[in-house]
């Protein structure tokens, strides 16, 4: 896909961008609309941002779509979110195939409703041969839970004799996380102005550059995304060195 005009000045592109998509509920409340409408508009922002990634050649995009804590929300809202997820996957999968986007997912996916799991599996399988942007949805995801599951997996490998405990280092441990097939994020974007990680990719963002914008997620557009990438390009990444 050809780069849009606002992106032509971007010279340094992060390989992996992760986004905390915050502000759907506030966006709806400000307009006197139900929260579900905010989530619906937020799904349109996902389309814009994936297109923006394609414009400049981002390889991986991870979206914090539904956290493990989100299960605590009112059942009516959770049910609506699960229906929206299913509808999004069903509608967008043909578009992802056409746009060469490969869909993946991380989290405790077995916690999702069965129909959501089935649709997610179909969408992942349908786009598995694509070679462009890898879109990773974090669903029923929590960073602490991921680390805990990683520790359990590591212990199991040691107990089965597949791994000697003396071999365990950060690289070995990373191979037991949900994200073992992907590089760590270079850039973490959070919308709505909040200054916290909210249990998102706690291990993986150790050296990511953070970009916080007051824009609510449904209002976040391609130019906002490009500006985040420009800011990333202006920073000097030293990874603890001089």
How far apart are alpha carbons 220 and 44 in whole angstroms? 10
User: Cα 48 vs. chain centroid, distance in angstroms?
Assistant: 14
Q: Which residues does residue 189 pair with via DSSP β-bridges, in sequence order?
A: 19, 211
How far apart are alpha carbons 123 and 231 in whole angstroms? 33
Query: Which of 222, 232, 220, 219 is CA-nearest to residue 5?
Result: 222
List active site positions.
22, 70
How far apart are alpha carbons 218 and 43 in whole angstroms? 8
3-state SS class at 211:
strand
């Amino acid at each position: 896909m050809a780069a849009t005009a606002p992106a032509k000045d971007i010279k340094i592109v992060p390989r992996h961008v992760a986004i905390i998509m915050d502000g759907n509920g506030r966006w709806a409340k400000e307009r006197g609309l139900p929260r579900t409408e905010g989530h619906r508009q937020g799904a349109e922002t996902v389309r814009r941002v994936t297109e923006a990634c394609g414009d400049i050649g981002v390889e991986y995009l991870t979206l914090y779509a539904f956290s493990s804590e989100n299960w605590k929300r009112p059942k009516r809202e959770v049910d609506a979110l699960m229906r929206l997820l299913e509808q999004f996957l069903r509608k967008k999968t043909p578009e992802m195939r056409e746009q060469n986007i490969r869909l993946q997912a991380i989290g405790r996916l077995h916690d999702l409703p069965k129909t959501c799991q089935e649709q997610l599996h179909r969408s992942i399988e349908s786009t598995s041969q694509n070679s462009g942007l890898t879109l990773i949805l974090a669903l029923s995801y929590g960073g602490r839970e991921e680390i805990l599951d990683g520790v359990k997996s590591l212990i199991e490998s040691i107990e089965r004799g597949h791994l000697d405990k003396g071999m365990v280092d950060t690289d070995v441990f990373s191979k037991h996380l949900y994200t073992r097939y992907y590089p760590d994020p270079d850039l973490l974007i959070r919308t709505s102005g909040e200054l916290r990680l909210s249990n998102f990719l706690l291990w993986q963002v150790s050296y990511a550059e953070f970009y916080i914008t007051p824009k609510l997620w449904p209002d976040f557009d391609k130019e906002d995304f490009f500006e985040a990438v420009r800011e990333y390009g202006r920073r000097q990444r030293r990874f603890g060195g001089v």
